[in-house]
Every structure is written in structure tokens, then in C-alpha cells.
Amino acid sequence: MNTMFSKIVRNIAIASGAAVIAVSAVLVVLPIAQNTFAPAEAHAAWSSNDGFGGTGYDGNCCDTDTTNTSSSGGWSSNDGFGGTGYDGNCCDTPTYTPPTYNPPTYTYNPPAPVIPSCTLSANKTSVTKGGDVKLTWTSSKAKSATLSTFGTVSTYGSKTVTPDNTITYTLTVKSKDGHTATCSKTITVTLPAPTCVLNVDRTTINRGENVTLSWSTNNAQSVSLTSFGSVDKNGSKSTNPQDNTTYTLTVTGKNGQTVDCTKAITVHIPPTNPGPTCTIIINNYNNQYSNPNQAVNISWNSQNAHTGWINNNVGPITLSGSKTVYPTQTTTYTATFTGHNGQTINCSVTVNINTYVPPTTPYITLSSVPYTGLELGPVGTALYWSFLVFWALFAAYLIVVKRVQNRIYASTKSLLFGTESEVAAAHAHVAHEDVVSRGLFSTADLEVIANTLRSVIEGPSKESHVAPTAPAAPQGDVIDEFVLSQISRPRR
């Protein structure tokens, strides 16, 4: 294989050398040929179409044909170079102009970028603090979206917000190739305006009388009231205006706004130094008798008075009002009023107390039903009554059930074996025969014994002079011995 490779290299070298020699020979011969084929006339011109885009030889210039001496004669050739051949004096050195290479032009058009877009809207752009706002957004060509204060959200949707302060919500969307777009909406939050209500218990009074002012506010930062200055946001005050007065409640809100509420009080001024007047009454009964310690409500009113007082532990009073008292006996309540002119006046009312207490029928109230007389508690009481019920049932069994049982037993025995008298007679007859047969007793003796037994069993006859004995119980109504012992035991 190495030999073959060496041969190939040697052949290539030989061929390259031959090519170099041939090119060198052409370069040497060409000037010689130009000098050999000189034109006959110096001004003769030639042209050729030699493939360079021009015309080949035309005329006798450098032509081996010496017979052509005409200035206009010549020859032409097309040597295939596509260029321009000689044109002019004979045997000029040709100039080689290589063809112009115009490479192809390629235009790269990159894909258009994906630019997203979005919209963000709100159902209202101004809201009072505490109100709700609905944000709604859409997008186009977006792959992801974020909303301020919420973070990542869907590329379209809605949210309900309750902002505390003015805020701008910004939606940022991003396309798949990283381009972003933003849209925003500003929500203006306003603080609610303050409100107030001012009330008075009376709008018309006489000079010297009191009036009560009461008020309430909302969304207030500070509150002030005529004649009192700064006051609580909600409250009441009692006052005694001497002339017509308009009371103004001024409320300053948290948003800086202010609002006023007013009430006018008309004060009647009595004539100079009039004397005081008063009345006092009982409200809950009409001069009837009341029971001791029963609630009795008295009320009073005065005119042209400055101060008031009621005896019997009532004490200082307003110029008009009421009081509940609890007298234990008939009591007269006297109200004393002092006028502006220093005069005093009294007015009174008597509460009659019924001192007669009707007799009542005596009775006993048991705290426990039924009452055992023993404080045994719930469990002990239940056990106690359970024992009594059990004992009653047992006694009923002994008295009733056992009695019926004995009757049934006696009836069955009488049916099967006869009555007690019949059995005794049978036994007596057998005994009589036995005794007589043995000669133990005579017939007279046995008759006496029989009469004695008969009197024991059936009771003594009217003609018998045997000592009376306790009557025997009826054979069909036998009483249990234990029950009989319980009935006959002595009482203590």
C-alpha cells in the first residue's frame, strides 16, 4: 500500500512539473510571436472576438500570412475567453480583465416580537373609606400576570378590594418571549363626613328650670358644645339657662370637615319677684289605703321656685319630678319650695296605710312532698319510701294473698279428704273400736271423750256445762299464724 501511495505522489509531482514548464514556454513564446508577426502598415488595426467581450484580430497585423498587405485586411478569432480582443495597433500586448463575481444576497427576516397588552378598570374610582371596589382586567398575548398587593393572578379576571387609603393598582403582563406591558388604575379613598344629633328634653322652660341636652356623633375627631367647651363624642349635660339660648354642637371629622347641630331653648321670664307655687300628688292610688312597705309614687311640680325639699327622708328635690316611697304607716309628705324672691311655699299629700291585718287560716307548708320527717337527702328519701312500699306489698301478701291461698288449700283438702269434722269422726270411730277391742276404756268413758272433742271442734252445745273455750276459727277461713300473732301482740 505504501508503494502505491508513493507512485501516486510521484505522478502528481511529474504532472505538476510538466504544467509549470508548459506555462513558462507560453510566456516566452508570446513576445516572440508578437515581434514575428508585425503588421505591414504601422497604422493597421485589428480586432478579434476572443471571448473577453471584444473583437478578434482584423487585418494583417502579426499574421503569418505575408501575402495580405492590405491595410484593411486581417483575420478574426474567437478564443472563448468571453472578453475583448485586440483592437488597434498590431501586436499590442493584451490586457486580461477577469469577470466580475457578484455573490448572492441573503436577507434574514427574524420573527416579529410578541408584544402583550392589558386593560385594568374599576367600577368606581372614588370610594368612602370602608367601601368596596371591583377591579376587572383583561390581557392579550400574555403568558403571565401580576397585580400589585395580590401578586400572581390570572391573565384575565376580577378582584374586590376595600382600600383604606388612596392607592394605585398596577397590572403587569408578560408574553412568552419576555416582553411586558403594564396598566394601572388609581382608587381615591375619602374619609366619611362627620354627623351629629342634638336633642333636648324640653324646648320651652321657665327661668330657673333645668333642661337636659343629649347628643351623639359619628366619624368625629373632636366635639364641642356651647357653654361647655370640649365634650365627649356621645353624652348628655344638664343646664339652667336664664335667657333664650341656642346650643350648638360642633363636630370636627377625621377628614377635617366640620358639622354643626343646634337646639334653641326658649326661657320664659316671670314677672318681677312673683311668689312660688307648687303641687304634689300620689300617682298610683286614689286616696285609698296602702299596705305597709308598699311602693307609692309621688310627683310634684313648682312654678317660680328656686329650690325644693320634701320631708320624711326624701330630701332635696328638683323643681319638678317624682319619687317612689315605701311608708310603713300613714305618712304626710310635705314639699317646701323657695322662690327667687325668697318666699317659700308648702304643698303636701298624705299616704294612708292600712294597719288592720285580717286573720289568716293556719296552715302548714311542707318543704318536701311527701314529707318524711327525716332529712335524708334525695337518695335516702328514695330508699326510705322504697322500703315502705315493699313492706306494704309484703303485708298485703300476708293478709290477702296468703288468706286466699289458705282458702284454696282448705277447699282442695275438703274435696279430697272431707271436712275436719268428718275426719275427726272417722278417727274417733277407729279409736273407739280399737280402745273397746283392747278393753282400755269403757263405752261410757269413750262417750265422754267424744263429747269433749266434739265441743272442741264444733263448739259447746247449749245443754253442755263444759267450761267455755275460745272459739275456733272457721275451717274454711284459716288465718296465718304469723299474721294472727302480729294482730294479737300487745300495744305499747
Task: Say which CATH topology domain 117-190 has.
Answer: Immunoglobulin-like (2.60.40)
pLDDT in the model for residue 137: 95
Task: Calculate the average pLDDT of the chain.
Answer: 74
Taking the whole predicted model, whether its pTM rises above 0.85 is answered as no
Q: Which of 33 and 146 is assigned the larger pLDDT?
A: 146
Q: Taken in order 463, 466, 468, 470, is the CA torsion positive or negative? A: negative
Q: Is the pLDDT of residue 351 over 70?
A: yes
pLDDT tens digits for range 434-492: 655 665 556 666 676 667 766 655 655 444 444 444 444 444 444 456 555 555 555 44
How confident is residue 36, by pLDDT bands cut at 50, 70 and 90? Answer: very low
Provide the terminal-to-terminal Cα distance of the chain, rounded to the nearest Å.
157
pLDDT digits (tens, 9 = 90+) for 398-443: 777 777 777 777 777 777 766 666 666 666 566 656 655 665 556 6
* Mean pLDDT, residues 210-233: 92
Q: How far apart are CA 134 and CA 192, in angstroms?
A: 20
pLDDT for residue 248: 95
**Domain formed by 277-351, architecture:** Sandwich (2.60)
Looking at residue 123, what is its pLDDT?
A: 93
Domain layout of the chain by residue ranges:
1-33, 37-98, 117-190, 195-268, 277-351, 401-488
What's the CATH number of domain 195-268, 2.60.40.2470, 3.40.640.10, 1.20.1250.20, 3.40.50.2020?
A: 2.60.40.2470
Answer yes or no: same fold for 117-190 and 277-351.
yes
pLDDT tens, residue by residue, 201-214: 999 998 888 999 99
